Structure formats: C-alpha cells, structure tokens
Structure 1
C-alpha cells in the first residue's frame, strides 16, 4: 500500500523538488534555454512560494517527493491572473491521479486568494500534462501572456476560475 500525501511545500522538500524538476524537464526535451528548469526559484521553492498570493504543493509517496505544482501571480500579467507553475511528476508519480489532486489544490488556492484566471505554458512534448489541463477546463489560447521568460514554451492555456470545476 502506498502512503500518499498532497501538502504545502516545506523547506526540507526544496532539494527533492529541484531534483524532480531537473529530472523531468530534460525527459521531455525541455532542458535548454527558455525553460523553467533554469529559473532561480528551482533551488528555493519554499521561499519563492511563501510570498503573497502564492502556493506550492508537493506530492509525497512513501515519504519521497514524487512531484508538485504551484501558483503565483503571472509575471508581467494582469493582477487577476495567476500562473500554474512548476508542475512536474517523476514517472513513478504519473498515472495515479496524484497530478489531478495537486492541480485541484492549486486551483483551489488560486480561487481562495482571489484570482479570476489561471494561465499556464507548456511544451508540445508534454502530452499527458496537456490532457490533464484540458480535462480540468483549461482552454488553449493562441499565445503567451505576461513575461515569464520561458520563450521556449510553445503551448498556452487559460482557465476561468469562476467557472465550476470539471474533473474530479
């Protein structure tokens, strides 16, 4: 039996979550310039997501961090829009429904702090993630919003947080 928990990130999760990000992104060809793998926050996620209107959740399976995801105000975007950020899972954490649970925690956090929209950007190789987003009501949009610095991303989504949740 797998002991699973979805919970807010803690300082002692930072190294493990950085390892998840640095393992998963190259797996999908997203290791070069313009991808989130190079963001300074990767090494200090707890501090980055302890700021106002931010939240980050980790998925812990049998006491090991297997993935996570968070929200923060969209850099260079409208005040009513957050960004779904750094949502990655190791292969052992995929296909279990855990990503769905982390995503719902992020959406709930975004609504709680008053965002109207949730934006995300991804890469065309991350097909499973895109299916998850679409099942949860995210709609593809034609181009990027804000100024994230992730110029290599090529697929963009937005969710109207005032609409009821679709997937459970």
Structure 2
C-alpha cells in the first residue's frame, strides 16, 4: 500500500511547492534564468493553476509535500496541446513509481480537458526524467512548440493523448 497520495494543490501548499521546485532545480544544477526557477508562477501556484483547463497536483507523504506536477494549455498552441509543467520530486520520492502515477494523473486530466497532445521541455542532462517521459510514450522532437519562455530547456518531447 502507498504511504503517499496525489491531490490538487491548495493555497497552504504554495510555499512548500516553491521551495521544493527551487531546491530540486539547484540540486540538478539547472540555470536560474530561462528555466522554471525564475517563473513568477512559483509565487502563487494555486492562483496560477486555478483556471478551468489547468491543474497542479502534489504528492503528499506523512503530511509533507515530496513532489508535484502541473498540466496546462501550451502557450501559443492552447487549442490542441497541453504541457506537462513543473514536475519535480524530492530525492526520497524518486524510484518509487510516483512519477509514473503523477504523469498518468496529469495526462488523464489533459485528455479530460479535450487536448489531443501533451508537450514537455526538459534539459539534456536530466536523463532520469527523459527516461520516465519515454516510458510514458513521449518522443523527442527537433524544435520547441509554443512559447514557454524556458530557452535553456533544449529537449522537446510530445505524446498523443
């Protein structure tokens, strides 16, 4: 039985989610510009994801947030493509199948919203993340889609829903 659960973000989760995302980005050596690190959305993730066709899910274990991921329309391609966003997990959450379940939760939500494809951007050296996306049916494409503003993320992947 899982000791963790996935649920939608609440306002009281904002500070913990911001700290988690930034700590994982620092751990991974991600540039602080041109990546999620500098996104204004981190200041109030609940407000960022409260629109009808957006959601941010967190993983909670023992009353502590250990991961999260969002799904939202891809800026510039809103009608058909959603984007898997800000998916990060603390070290203790990794390798336990949580990422697989989180991706499925997000993809199911995207499909329910009527999106036809899901897009993600990542970094070349985030090999475990890329492997996880590939296992979930994402394939690498040559050029970025939409306008995420994450110019330092140079690996682009997409999946049909």
Task: Confirm or deny a common fold (TM above 0.5).
Answer: yes
When the two structures are superposed, what TM-score results if normalisation uses the length of structure 2?
A: 0.96
Aligned-pair CA distance for 1:16: 0.7
Structure 1 residue 31: Cα displacement: 3.1
* Cα distance in 1, alignment partners of residues 14 and 2 from structure 2: 22
Q: Which runs of 5+ in 1 are unaligned?
A: 162-168
User: Which residue in the other structure is 2:145 paired with?
Assistant: 145
| Structure 2 counterpart of 1:100 | 100
Query: Runs of 4+ in structure 1 displaced over 3 angstroms?
Result: none
Counting only pairs closer than 5 Å after superposition, residues 73-112 of structure 1 correspond to structure 2 as 73-112=73-112
What whole-Å deviation, never above 9, does each CA across 1:90-114 have from its counterpart, x for those lacking one? 1111111111111110000000000
Aligned to 1:115: 115
Contact kept, 8 Å, 2:31 with 2:152, in 1: the verdict is no
CA RMSD of aligned residues (A): 1.2
**Corresponding residue of 2:26:** 26
Bigger drift between 33-42 and 22-31 goes to 22-31
Superposition TM-score, scaled by structure 1 size: 0.92
The 1-side partners of 2:102 and 2:87 are apart by: 8
Q: Is the 8 Å Cα contact of residues 120 and 157 (structure 1) preserved in structure 2?
A: yes
CA distance in 1, matches of 2:124, 2:45: 25
- Local SS of the residue matching 2:68: strand
